[in-house]
Amino acid sequence: MIADPKTSHISLSALFKSGDSSTKISYFLMGFNNLANKQIIKGLFFLFSEIGFFTWLFVDGINALSQLGSLGTKQAGERYDAKLGIYVSVNGDNSMLILLYGLASLLIIALFLYVYRVNLKSDRKIWEFKKSSRKIMTFKEDIAELLDDRLHLLFMAIPMIGILFFTVLPILYMVSVAFTSYDHAHLPPGHLFHWIGLANFGNIFTGAMAGTFFPVFLWTIIWAVLATVSSFILGIFLAMLINTKGVKGQKIYRTIFILTMAIPQFISFLIWANMLNNAGLINSILENIGLITKPIPFLTDGLTAKATVLIVNLWVGMPVTMLVTTGILQNLSQEQVEAAKMDGASKFQVFTNITFPQILFVMAPALIQQFIGNINNFNVIFLLTGGGPADSNFYNAGDTDLLVTWLYNLTLGTQDYNIASVVGIIIFVFSAAFSLFMYKKVNKLQGVNG
């Protein structure tokens, strides 16, 4: 008997050789072994699952899978009708639906294979019960065992199916589009698009899009680093100021800064955008008091706009750090601080050697999360500058566009879905790799220091 090395059970391949005739038949006719052993409801479930799957496969599945390789061959357009003597419109294949149905078919097959494996495991259980001369479980006993030992699987089943078709399927679709010619020149249903392999990746890294991708990618990294570090440092500084002994009205100060978090971000950014435009409040005041003779291009000059979005981002980023740091400061061991002071340490030495390391120790995971959030920070760029000012050297991107806002422009602007999908994949891979690497480093450090 060949046992599965990961479990104490017989392997499914060995079961086929060792099992009785009903077990062997169940490999081809699902549920047969259950029905033969009076597990009627369970057997019918497997049987109808198989019937339903193969009915779908022959009616629709094979057709959906067969078109997945080409994504359609029939082009929509006009054809001359000899009988009518005129040109008539003819519908063609829809590459987008073919791709979607094809991917959904693959998921359905994967789901069926899972049910098939459950069927075989059920057969193995029956075989083990017979071998040990135990009574085969009835449907009620199966349900009781499911509710008792595997209740979590029962509750997770429906959400997992939902995730499969409403999360995994869209992700597979997005990734697949990156390998096709689905752009503004190949929009369905009027036009077909096809598989083109890695051509879009080549276009991004070495082709026509490289001149836009690399500057936008570099600015995205610079933005994420500066936005995270500036909010972190100034948030700590603000918390230290407010929590200084002798400062009155500390709760009022905290409440005022927390109010910026209570106001929806898009309202704050729209107000800032109005205040900072060339005819806005800030330029008007500066001109009226004679400090400037012409408006400062807060949002219309590339370099100035980048500095502006970083400064305005502090409005929403700094209070978060201030709030967390306040909690850390209030729980900081005063005995350690007082001991350092008695040893002659200055306030700066206490901060750099005791306070700041503890703040960094606690906030390290939040900082990683904040960095990734800033890479995907759509609101502040889109609502303040709209990605502008426009840059004629870039393809559908401005000087302040991040990868995520460029992706938005590529989809809803020029409808270059294939390039947008590649950008989405790059954002995901970079964010995931950075997060995994940094969380591993932080966990290692916290393990050493904790």
* Preceding omega of 389 cis (within 30 degrees of 0): yes
pLDDT value, residue 231? 92
Mean pLDDT (whole number) for 318-344:
83
Beta-bridge partners for 79: 88
Please report, rounded to a whole number, the percentage of residues in the chain having pLDDT higher than 90: 50
pLDDT value, residue 224? 95
pLDDT level of residue 6 (50, 70, 90 thresholds): low
- Position with higher pLDDT, 183 vs 334: 183
pLDDT at 1 over 60: no
pLDDT value, residue 395? 92
- Residues 214-272 have pLDDT tens digits of 999 999 999 999 999 999 999 989 888 888 888 888 888 888 888 888 888 888 899 99
pLDDT at 333 over 80: no
Mean pLDDT (whole number) for 321-332:
84
Mean pLDDT (whole number) for 286-292:
91
pLDDT value, residue 258? 81
- Residues 95-121 have pLDDT tens digits of 999 999 999 999 999 999 999 999 999
pLDDT at 151 over 80: no
Mean pLDDT (whole number) for 321-337:
82
pLDDT at 285 over 70: yes
pLDDT at 448 over 60: no
Closest CA to 95 of 165, 14, 12, 196: 196
pLDDT value, residue 169? 92
Mean pLDDT (whole number) for 35-57:
93
pLDDT value, residue 144? 79
pLDDT at 32 over 70: yes
pLDDT at 337 over 70: yes
pLDDT value, residue 422? 96
3-state secondary structure the chain: CCECCCCCCECHHHHHHHCCHHHHHHCCCCCHHHHHCCCHHHHHHHHHHHHHHHHHHHHHHHHHHHHHCCCCCCCCEEEEECCCCEEEEECCCCHHHHHHHHHHHHHHHHHHHHHHHHHHHHHHHHHHHHHCCCCCCCHHHHHHHHHHHCHHHHHHHHHHHHHHHHHHHHHHHHHHHCCECCCCCCCCCCCCCCECCCHHHHHHHCCCCHHHHHHHHHHHHHHHHHHHHHHHHHHHHHHHHHCCCCCCCHHHHHHHHHHHHHCCHHHHHHHHHHHHCCCCHHHHHHHHCCCCCCCCCCCCCHHHHHHHHHHHHHHHHHHHHHHHHHHHHHCCCHHHHHHHHHCCCCHHHHHHHHHHHHHHHHHHHHHHHHHHHHHCCHHHHHHHCCCCCECCCCCCCECCCCHHHHHHHHHHHCCCHHHHHHHHHHHHHHHHHHHHHHHHHHHHHHHHHC
Enter the pTM of the model: 0.83
Please report, rounded to a whole number, the percentage of residues in the chain having pLDDT higher than 70: 97
Beta-bridge partners for 3: 10
pLDDT value, residue 344? 82
pLDDT level of residue 323 (50, 70, 90 thresholds): confident
pLDDT level of residue 45 (50, 70, 90 thresholds): very high
- Position with higher pLDDT, 182 vs 140: 182
Number of C-beta neighbours around residue 122 at 10 A:
22
Q: Which amino acid is at 179?
A: F
pLDDT level of residue 78 (50, 70, 90 thresholds): confident
